[in-house]
Chains A and B, each alone.
Chain A
Amino acid sequence: MSSPLRILLGLAILTGIYLVAQWAVTRLGIPFPGGLAGLLLCFVLLRVRLLRVEWLQGATDLLLSNLALFHLPFLAALGQYWPLLQASGLPLVAVLIATTGLVVLTTGLVAERLGDRAEEQDHVAIHR
């Protein structure tokens, strides 16, 4: 269990990393999402043990289990795009389904071909 204080600490750390990463990619003019740069930075900080995963776990669970909430401000704009979506409905859905199928096929077949040494009984920790 994470105490509210620890969750707040985790949120502060994750937000701080995000802001630093966002600032860095903007400053360097790299066309790369600040959040992803922050993900990589956070991963490195966890590996070199500058950050402890216990500090972030509570905040991570909170953020990742409420992802839909953070998307609502964006999805709310869809009302504005309704005419556009309606006009290209069928081709849009066809393109979407065909290419998603292609990704499933490519990834699945290549991964199956390259084989997996992972075993069901491997110690696999499942975390959000």
Chain B
Amino acid sequence: MWLSIASFVATIGAYLAARAIARRARHILVNTFTIGALFIIIGLWWTGVPYLEYRAGVQPIAFLLGPATVALAVPLHHNLPLLKRNLRPILIAGVAGALVGAVAVVALAMLAGLSRVLVLALLPKSVTAPVAVAIAGLIGGEPALAAAMTALTGVTGILFAQPLLNRLAVRSPLARGLALGVSIHGMGTAASAQESLLSAAVAGIGMTVAAIATALVAPIIVRLL
């Protein structure tokens, strides 16, 4: 009981501290995800508390990922006119990107000889983390590893996604926002917001399209493995 309460309070504390540090640091790699996780991993190691006992205490926090995913319907609702006007490019390019990504990451990961648990965690890596965690659970993967892979995808992708789009001469705000949202989820939405309002809105839509497409195709890919 006391351990559960301590785990809960410590997690909130680690989050608030990480957020304060991330705001000061102004560096993409020093963000609330990386610093918060670091605090808790060090805390568990230092106190010797087993992960599963810690996990029981923070179940209410983890549960909120579900309602948070449902809440993505609200921005989608607001941006429906934009989606309707550009339905064809958004759906075709979004689904194409998500499918290519899911198939390619599984194929390359197996070629590179990565273990099955990593292959399954990598499959939803371009999907927004709350959904990636759920997809990993459904396909028999490790939600924790999947969460880490999405975070890693975001922090590495942000370093080269926009330069790559420049190199490819992708200039329209729609295509840029979509590519960023589909490939690096929330990180792409944040990056698009600095380009234009339109890009950011499309990135948010793209993130949701990619999540749905990947969730649909993931069980099929896994059956073929």
Q: Which parts of B105-164 form the interface with A (CB within 8 Å)?
A: 105, 108-109, 112-115, 117-118, 122, 125-126, 129-131, 133-135, 138-139, 142-145, 147-149, 151-153, 156-157, 160-161, 164
Say yes or no: B78 contacts A53, CB within 8 Å.
yes
Within the complex, what minimum Cβ distance (angstroms) separates A62 from chain B?
9
Say yes or no: B67 contacts A118, CB within 8 Å.
no
Within the complex, what minimum Cβ distance (angstroms) separates A12 from chain B?
9
List of B residues within 8 angstroms of A36 by Cβ: 69, 131, 134, 211-212, 215
Partner of A35 from B18, B122, B134, B156 at Cβ < 8 Å: B134
Residue A28 is within 8 A (CB to CB) of chain B in the complex: no
Say yes or no: B37 contacts A110, CB within 8 Å.
no
Q: Which parts of A32-91 form the interface with B (CB within 8 Å)?
A: 32-36, 38-43, 46-47, 53, 56-57, 59-60, 63-64, 66-81, 84-85, 88, 91
When each residue 90-106 of chain A gets 1 if its CB lies under 8 Å from chain B and 0 otherwise, what string results? Answer: 01111111111111111
Say yes or no: B69 contacts A38, CB within 8 Å.
yes
List of A residues within 8 angstroms of B6 by Cβ: none
List of B residues within 8 angstroms of A98 by Cβ: 104, 108
Q: Which of B64, B142, B184 has the most CB atoms of chain A within a 10 A radius of its CB?
A: B64
Given A75-B144, A103-B97, decide whether A70 and B71 contact each other with a Cβ distance below 8 A: no
Given A76-B51, A106-B97, decide whether A43 and B77 contact each other with a Cβ distance below 8 A: yes
Partner of A102 from B101, B172, B208 at Cβ < 8 Å: B101
Given A99-B105, A126-B201, A127-B74, decide whether A94 and B112 contact each other with a Cβ distance below 8 A: yes
Residue A9 is within 8 A (CB to CB) of chain B in the complex: no
Given A78-B144, A103-B182, A118-B85, decide whether A95 and B122 contact each other with a Cβ distance below 8 A: yes
A-B contact pairs, 8 of them (CB 8 A): A34-B134, A72-B14, A75-B148, A92-B112, A100-B161, A109-B170, A111-B170, A127-B78
- Extra 18 A-B pairs, beta carbons < 8 Å, given A71-B129, A107-B206, A124-B201: A11-B67, A31-B138, A68-B36, A69-B12, A69-B64, A70-B62, A70-B64, A71-B133, A75-B36, A76-B54, A76-B58, A78-B145, A79-B51, A92-B118, A100-B101, A102-B100, A104-B180, A108-B179
